[in-house]
Every structure is written in C-alpha cells, then in structure tokens.
C-alpha cells in the first residue's frame, strides 16, 4: 500500500466509526455446530420476494478470517439477533473479548431455535432467521445474502448502538 492508500483506508475506518449501527450477533447451528459473532455490517435488501428469493432478504458481512464464517456457510442458515440496551456483555462475548470461542459463547445466553434451527436469543430486541441465498467475498469480508424465514419482535427495550467505537444507548426523548 502507498502512503495515500493507507491514509484513505484510515480515513474510511474513522468515517465508518461515525455511523451509528445496531449491535447484532449472528448465530448459526446445524451440521457444522454452533457458531456466532458480533457484527455491525448487516442490512435489509428487499421486503419482497423475487425470482431469486422466495421471501424478504437480508445481508451480513463477516470477516474472511472469522472462525464463525465456515460454520455459517456449512450450516446454510443464520440468525441476526438485534441486541437491546443492556446487552453489552453479550456483544463483547461474541466479539471475542472474553476469551470464549465457538459453542462456549452460547453458555452465556438463553436461546432457542426458530424456523431454520439457528439460535434466536431470548432477549433479542428482534431477530431475522435466514437461509443462505448466496455469498461472495469482497475485499476482507464475505457478504452473505439470506432469505428471511421467520422474524421475532419485542418492544421491551431500545436497541444497543455502536458509535465511535463504543456501545451506546439512545438519548432520552429520541423515540
């Protein structure tokens, strides 16, 4: 990399830290076993079925070096658990900040399977249970598109937000 490329990369990373994101844990279970990780890159793609997907679609971005990536791909299913305020510890566990790996991370959360068998956290603000439609590697990340098979909803709390490299709560009066 050149000095100019290094600067653009760092400016990009710093700029992205200013984008407030919901904190999500992507979980999976199946033939490859339990797996999960904290992600900040997820998005809705379409609410409507089309010729490729027979339901709404979502996408997640997972670092190509993540130990959870091959598990998600082999299982063919994933659940995007949107965390609520007060779930900082769960986010940190699945981000690997407590030394737990693989299925051991799930010993710290209550969960149950939904339509695909992927773990849905009992305290998730909302969750999108998906089957993999397709995926591709772009740069350092694997972009995975999923067809939503089930959704859970809860109004028990506000979302946990990640902004400026920290977990945050919504300010009072922002509802």
User: How far is the CA of 162 from the CAs of 24, 54, 141, in angstroms?
Assistant: 10, 32, 19
User: How far is the CA of 59 from the CAs of 6, 44, 100, 147, in angstroms?
Assistant: 28, 6, 26, 9
Q: For residue 140, what pLDDT is reported?
A: 93
Q: For residue 78, what pLDDT is reported?
A: 98
In CATH terms, 22-162 corresponds, of 3.40.50.620, 2.30.110.10, 2.40.50.140, 2.40.37.10, to 2.30.110.10
**10-residue mean pLDDT series, the chain (175 residues):** 82 79 94 95 92 94 96 98 93 91 92 96 95 96 97 87 80 62
Q: For residue 45, what pLDDT is reported?
A: 95
In terms of C-beta density within 10 A (0-12 exposed, 13-18 middle, 19 or more buried), how is residue 129 classed?
buried
pLDDT digits (tens, 9 = 90+) for 72-89: 999 999 999 999 999 999
* Domain-wise residue ranges, the chain: 22-162
Cα distance between residue 67 and residue 106, in whole Å: 15
């Amino acid at each position: 990399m050149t000095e100019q490329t290094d600067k653009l990369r760092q400016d990009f990373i710093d700029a992205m830290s200013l984008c407030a994101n919901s904190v999500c844990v992507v979980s999976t279970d199946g033939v490859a076993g339990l797996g999960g990780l904290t992600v900040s890159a997820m998005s809705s793609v379409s609410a409507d079925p089309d010729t490729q997907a027979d339901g709404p679609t979502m996408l997640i971005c997972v670092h190509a070096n993540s130990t959870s990536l091959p598990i998600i791909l082999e299982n063919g299913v994933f659940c995007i658990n949107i965390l609520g305020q007060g779930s900082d510890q769960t986010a940190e566990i699945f981000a690997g900040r407590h030394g737990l790996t693989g299925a051991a991370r799930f010993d710290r959360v209550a969960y149950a399977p939904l339509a695909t068998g992927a773990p849905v956290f009992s305290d998730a603000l909302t969750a999108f249970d998906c089957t993999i439609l397709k995926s591709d590697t772009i740069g350092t990340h694997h972009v995975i598109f999923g067809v939503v098979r089930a959704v859970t909803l809860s109004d028990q709390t506000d979302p946990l937000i990640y902004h400026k490299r920290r977990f945050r709560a919504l300010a009072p009066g922002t509802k």
